[in-house]
Amino acid sequence: MAILAKHIIVHFAELNTKGKNKSSFVKVLLRNIQKACIFDNDLLFARHHDHILIELNKTDANQVMDTLSHVFGISNYALAYGCSKDIESITETCVLLMKDVPVCSFKVDTRRKDKTFPILSNQVSMEVGHAILNVTEHTVDVHHPERKIRIDIEDKGVFVCIETVEGRQGFPVSTMGEAIMLLSGGIDSPVAAYLAMKRGVHIKCIHFAAPPYTSEQALNKVKSLIQILNQYQAKIDLYVVPFTEIQLEIYKKVNHSYAVTIMRRMMLRMAEQIANRDHITSIITGESLGQVASQTLESMLVITAAQHLNILRPLITYDKNEIIALAKSIKTYETSILPFEDCCTIFKVNSPVTKPRLYFVEHEEKRCDFTGMIETALEQTQLLSIEIQQEDFL
């Protein structure tokens, strides 16, 4: 007789270290799960001390499980099979479930949260384990089991889980505040965005477009990347900043070896103004130490000096192969390598400076009149809100 799972149990990741703040973190996690599960309004959610319980109400369990795989702040989750609160029912449920599992080693882990239950946790585990051994070919391994059977004896019933799935870990998105993400459309910046979200940062993105030198396809590529990142943050704002006039001014008037450095400084200045308007204190970049000329320690120091906000660089110690591997794992790589160039790649210089000096960079910047250009570009900036789409789950 097959048993139908009616619930999913979700356990927290690092939230148990948050002490008195734990409740607010769990509240955000629950909200993020509900936003991610927009495909079905029949799901019911309940907060408990150490887990969130999702009642499926005939919703496709696989669909919900797949959605949970993209939510940060989850340690693990599992289909939960309910049964009556007596040892006979618990044993029968575990035996029936394990009969359908290919031969493996197992361990039974019982949590007796209802202390009025007359049988101690280790006794429940032993009785269930013996019953499974008597009717199957499974073996017991208490140290390195291939499958762990978890039995939670709650006040209102018992839940049995026979397969636990590891979650994304990290903190729920938005628990660590907001930051502006410089999203170019290349390989690095979407990965940096992913890592920031994993640490609980809610991101807003800025993309610098340089039409007609950059195409509509390049902007569409950025939108597609954000739609992939929507799996981890349900709604992402995208500021599209027209950068053509500023970029042309730089390449016409400054020493070309300093063009990339000054271009990056202008981007940070404009990102700072948008961040200040939105009361955001941090900017995230996809920089990796030493990867290109503008990402040496000297270059990053000079570029950062153009503004006053906190600069976060999640990829600072990653090499390119590590970044590519992570991009492939989060499904952004194939989109990032589409052949539509952004403004960082269309204007190239042969010998960019790798150890710029701030006084010389500032001297070169004085050749240009950026004030009016920056104001005009910010006035013409478009704000797009890209949200997770229900049809993605149909």
Ordered structural domains, the chain, with CATH: 7-169 (3.30.2130.30), 178-393 (3.40.50.620)
Please identify which residue in the block is written with the tokens 């799901």. Answer: 43
Residue with tokens 């029968």: 92
Using CA atoms, how far apart are residues 360 and 254, in angstroms rounded to an integer? 11
76 forms bridges with which residues in the sheet?
A: 11, 166
Q: For 316-343, what is the mean pLDDT?
A: 93
d(Cα 237, Cα 387) in Å, to the nearest integer? 9
**Model confidence at 325: pLDDT above 60:** yes
3-class secondary structure, 299: helix
Are 250 and 259 within 8 A, CB to CB? yes
3-state secondary structure of 320: helix
Residue reference for tokens 């005939």: 58
Q: Write down the pLDDT at residue 215.
A: 85
Using the predicted structure, report yes or no on whether residue 393 has a pLDDT greater than 70: no
Non-local (6+) Cβ contacts of 93 within 8 A are 3, 81, 83, 158, 160
**Which pLDDT value is given to residue 240?**
97
Angle CA(331)–CA(196)–CA(222) in degrees, nearest 5? 45
Asked whether the bond before 102 is cis by omega within 30 degrees of 0, the reply is no
- For the cut 90, the answer to whether the pLDDT of residue 292 exceeds it is no
What is the pLDDT averaged over residues 335-349? Answer: 76
Distance separating alpha carbons of residues 97 and 78, to the nearest angstrom: 14
Query: Do 42 and 59 contact (CB within 8 A), yes or no?
Result: yes
18 pLDDT more than 70 = no
Average pLDDT, rounded, for the chain: 92
Question: Cα angle at 369 between 365 and 372, to 5 degrees?
Answer: 135
Mean pLDDT of 5-29: 84
- Cβ(204)–Cβ(280) below 8 Å: yes
The pLDDT value given to residue 302 = 96
pLDDT of residue 233 exceeding 50: yes
Q: How confident is the model at residue 42 (pLDDT cuts 50, 70, 90)?
A: confident
Q: How far apart are CA 172 and CA 203, in angstroms?
A: 12
pLDDT score, position 195: 98
pLDDT computed for residue 383 by the predictor = 97
CA 47, 49, 52, 57 dihedral sign is: negative
Instruction: Answer whether 80's CB lies under 8 Å from 5's CB.
Output: yes
Tokens linked to 254: 């400054």
Running DSSP on this structure, what letter comes out for residue 19?
G
pLDDT at residue 371, as a whole number: 87
Confidence class for position 394, pLDDT limits 50, 70, 90: very low
Residue at 78: amino acid letter:
A
Res 348 pLDDT > 80: no
pLDDT at residue 79 above 80? Answer: yes
- Which helix (H) or strand (E) segment is 125 a member of? helix 121-135
Extract the tokens encoding 168. 């994304």
**Which one is predicted more confidently, 362 or 156?**
362
For residue 193, the surrounding DSSP H or E stretch is helix 188-198
Residue 119 burial (C-beta neighbours within 10 Å; 0-12, 13-18, 19+): middle
The number of C-alpha atoms within 13 Å of 77 and in the hemisphere containing its C-beta is 24
pLDDT recorded at residue 198? 97
Q: What is the pLDDT of residues 154-208, one digit of tens each?
A: 988 899 999 999 999 999 999 999 999 999 989 999 999 999 999 999 999 999 9
Contact 237, 204 (CB under 8 A): yes
Contact 189, 323 (CB under 8 A): no
- How large is the average pLDDT for residues 226-238? 95
